[in-house]
């Protein structure tokens, strides 16, 4: 049985408009707090269920920002990121430098981010873009660059902020974290507001960074009961920064798109991408 959680699709700006059937399970950040799966029919009552209170809190609350200890800096291997890492034979090419034919706006319609010289650059005015296809378990390769003329905004998060949302939901952060401190569960390579990276393997602005992301979606029993958490492993410039990290939060049943973030800050330091491919697992 599956339900259409149309309210959640509308209230979450990150959802791709084609992202449809899903089970939603709310769970508290603490692993000890497994809460009940919402298996409700389509109704106003069901749609109003945003979260299940746990221990006096709701899952919509954001945890406190954590600033210490800052992850140790690691210099990536020499020439690790100069050339694009070409896709293996069984990969699905999501962006090869030519066009955004595999992408669309999360609001529907074309993905109107500019493509030039083999790279695509965020257009904040056009908002987030997502893959037309959805994925469940995958290996994702993506290359990104903070502009060399990166600017500070009014917040430590306003410096080359973008991100990659897995299964349409969990963000692997993109930020200029090269000698630029922010809360560690919000710096580049963090699972946003959940886990900081193990180390800081950031290249400086103007140089390419590589993410290799291995994502395993949550699993459910046939009758929809939650079985296992989603997990993610991330290499940043060839350096392990997330090691089979268990993702908390609202989990989804079913496939989801890859979403690239157009962060809504006021700086003009827009992030660029190239060479994006994915292997389904
Ligand atoms: Mg971000």
The rounded Å distance from CA 160 to ligand 1 centre is: 9
Examine residue 191 and state whether it is found in any structural domain, yes or no.
yes
Cross-strand bridge partners of residue 140: 213, 278
The rounded Å distance from CA 43 to ligand 1 centre is: 33
CATH of the domain at 239: 2.60.120.560
Clarify whether residues 16 and 66 are in a common domain: no
Clarify whether residues 131 and 219 are in a common domain: yes
CA–CA gap between residue 158 and residue 139 (Å, rounded)? 28
The rounded Å distance from CA 156 to ligand 1 centre is: 12
Both tokens of 215, joined, read 């994502």
One pLDDT digit (tens) per residue for the chain, 281 residues: 332 222 232 234 344 544 433 333 333 333 333 333 333 333 332 222 222 223 223 334 456 688 999 999 999 998 899 899 989 999 999 999 999 999 999 999 999 999 999 999 999 999 999 999 999 999 999 999 999 999 889 899 999 999 999 999 999 999 999 999 999 999 999 999 999 999 999 999 999 999 999 999 999 999 888 899 999 999 999 999 999 999 987 776 789 999 999 999 988 889 999 999 999 99
Clarify whether residues 169 and 149 are in a common domain: yes
Examine residue 45 and state whether it is found in any structural domain, yes or no.
no
Clarify whether residues 247 and 123 are in a common domain: yes
Examine residue 46 and state whether it is found in any structural domain, yes or no.
no
pLDDT by residue (tens digit) across 176-220?
999 999 999 999 999 999 999 999 999 999 999 999 999 999 999
Clarify whether residues 90 and 131 are in a common domain: yes
Cross-strand bridge partners of residue 164: 172, 260
Clarify whether residues 128 and 211 are in a common domain: yes
The rounded Å distance from CA 163 to ligand 1 centre is: 4
CA–CA gap between residue 146 and residue 40 (Å, rounded)? 44
The rounded Å distance from CA 145 to ligand 1 centre is: 14
Clarify whether residues 106 and 146 are in a common domain: yes
Clarify whether residues 4 and 118 are in a common domain: no
The rounded Å distance from CA 122 to ligand 1 centre is: 12
| 259, 231 Cβ separation under 8 angstroms | no
The rounded Å distance from CA 36 to ligand 1 centre is: 30
Examine residue 206 and state whether it is found in any structural domain, yes or no.
yes
Q: What DSSP state is assigned to residue 46?
A: H
The rounded Å distance from CA 164 to ligand 1 centre is: 8
CA–CA gap between residue 66 and residue 264 (Å, rounded)? 22
Examine residue 123 and state whether it is found in any structural domain, yes or no.
yes
| 202, 213 Cβ separation under 8 angstroms | no
The rounded Å distance from CA 261 to ligand 1 centre is: 6
The rounded Å distance from CA 46 to ligand 1 centre is: 30
Q: Which domain holds residue 27?
A: 1-40
Count up the domains in the chain and report the number: 2
Looking from the CA of 122 toward its CB, the CA atoms found within 13 Å total 27
Clarify whether residues 185 and 242 are in a common domain: yes
For residue 253, the model assigns a pLDDT of 75
- Which strand (E) or helix (H) includes residue 129? strand 129-131
Biggest CA pair distance of the chain: 57
The rounded Å distance from CA 20 to ligand 1 centre is: 23
pLDDT by residue (tens digit) across 218-249?
999 998 888 999 999 999 999 999 999 999 87
Clarify whether residues 82 and 16 are in a common domain: no
Closest residue by Cα to residue 277 from 85, 93, 143, 145: 93
The rounded Å distance from CA 27 to ligand 1 centre is: 23
Clarify whether residues 200 and 125 are in a common domain: yes
Clarify whether residues 150 and 29 are in a common domain: no
User: Which residues are CB-contacts of 10 (< 8 A; sequence separation ≥ 6)?
Assistant: none
Examine residue 189 and state whether it is found in any structural domain, yes or no.
yes
The rounded Å distance from CA 263 to ligand 1 centre is: 6
């Amino acid at each position: 049985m599956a339900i259409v959680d149309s309210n959640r699709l509308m209230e979450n700006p990150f959802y791709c408009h084609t992202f449809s059937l899903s089970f939603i399970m709310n769970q508290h950040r603490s692993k000890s707090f497994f809460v009940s799966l919402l298996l409700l029919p389509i109704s106003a009552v069901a749609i109003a269920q945003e979260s299940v209170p746990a221990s006096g809190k709701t899952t919509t609350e954001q945890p406190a920002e954590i600033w210490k200890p800052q992850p140790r800096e690691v210099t990536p291997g020499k020439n690790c990121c100069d050339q694009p890492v070409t896709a293996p034979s069984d990969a699905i090419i999501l962006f090869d430098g030519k066009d955004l034919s595999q992408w669309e706006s999360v609001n529907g319609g074309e993905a109107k981010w500019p493509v030039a010289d083999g790279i695509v650059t965020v257009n904040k005015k056009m908002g987030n873009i997502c893959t037309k296809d959805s994925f469940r378990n995958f290996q994702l390769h993506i290359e990104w660059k903070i502009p060399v003329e990166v600017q500070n905004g009014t917040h430590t998060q306003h410096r080359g902020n973008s991100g990659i949302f897995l299964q349409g939901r969990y963000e692997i952060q993109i930020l200029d974290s090269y000698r630029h401190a922010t809360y560690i569960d919000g710096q580049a390579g963090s699972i946003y507001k959940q886990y900081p990276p193990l180390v800081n393997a950031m290249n400086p602005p103007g140089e390419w960074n590589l993410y290799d992301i291995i994502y395993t979606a949550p699993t459910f029993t046939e009758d929809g009961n939650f079985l296992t958490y989603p997990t993610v492993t991330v290499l940043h410039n060839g350096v392990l920064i997330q090691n089979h990290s268990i993702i908390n939060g609202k989990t989804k049943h079913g496939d989801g798109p890859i979403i690239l973030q157009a962060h809504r800050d006021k700086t003009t330091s827009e992030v660029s991408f190239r060479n994006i491919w994915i292997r389904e697992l």
